[in-house]
Amino acid sequence: MRHDEIWRAIDTLAAERGLSPSALARQAGLDATSFNPSKRRTADGKLRWPSTESIAKILDATGAKLEHFSALVNGARAIPEARAKGRSRLPLIGMAQAGAEGFFDDGGYPAGAGWDEVELPTVADVHAYALSISGESMLPVYRPGDTIIVSPAAPVRQGDRVVVRTQDEAVMAKLLLRRTAGQIELGSLNPDYPDLRFSARAVLWMHRIVWASQ
């Protein structure tokens, strides 16, 4: 059971109920910042784990069973089919815009008024959004102008195609090559572009690509 798996399960539990992590904390009677990404590591980079009391409170507040939460920790489907409330209209911005301030909140969810909308296949994640690809680092799989759907709630594993935001406000679509407690390695599908390595602290969030236009 890893640090990132526990936090992913909390994020997923929130998304299943149409909540941000901050809203889930408030619903459970906790400080609204308890589950913020910035609180998941100390100032010197040490891992900060959620307390058993805070987990017990969010399970009680949501009515979720411990078995369900454990399944989320182990990588179960982000949102069970029976609970899914799909959407066919998703917020959309260009990849080049995504690094600017105001388009995402602290949890990495779409925010602000600058988003357009696009009609796309139904996606269960209530926080899903769409990006328009720019650049050539993901050729030939994703071409400039292609639209991808990104799910913050979907579990991310090695080999997944992901959208990543770094501390220097860069947003990029890459392939997750390797992730450890201290380092994240990302690959470009286009061999003309180099692979990238970041410290785990340098990556604010990483969301899985679940669909792309062809």
Query: Tens digit of pLDDT for each residue in 128-181?
Result: 888 998 888 888 888 888 899 898 888 898 999 999 999 988 899 999 999 999
Report domain 90-212's class: mainly beta
Handedness of CA 165, 169, 174, 176 (dihedral sign): negative
Q: At 85, is the pLDDT very low, low, confident or very high (cuts 50, 70, 90)?
A: very low
Whole-number pLDDT of residue 122: 65
What distance in Å separates the CA atoms of residue 27 and residue 142, rounded to the nearest whole number? 39
- B/e letters for 47-80, b = 16+ CB within 10 Å, e = fewer, are eeebeeebbebbbebbeeeeebbeebbeeeebbe
Q: At 184, is the pLDDT very low, low, confident or very high (cuts 50, 70, 90)?
A: very high
pTM assigned to the model? 0.56
The terminus-to-terminus CA distance of the chain in angstroms comes to 37
Q: Are 153 and 72 in contact (CB under 8 A)?
A: no
Which CATH code for domain 3-77? 1.10.260
**pLDDT higher than threshold 70 for residue 88:** no
- Taking the domains of the chain in order of start, what are their residue ranges? 3-77, 90-212
What distance in Å separates the CA atoms of residue 52 and residue 49, rounded to the nearest whole number? 9
Q: Are 210 and 84 in contact (CB under 8 A)?
A: no
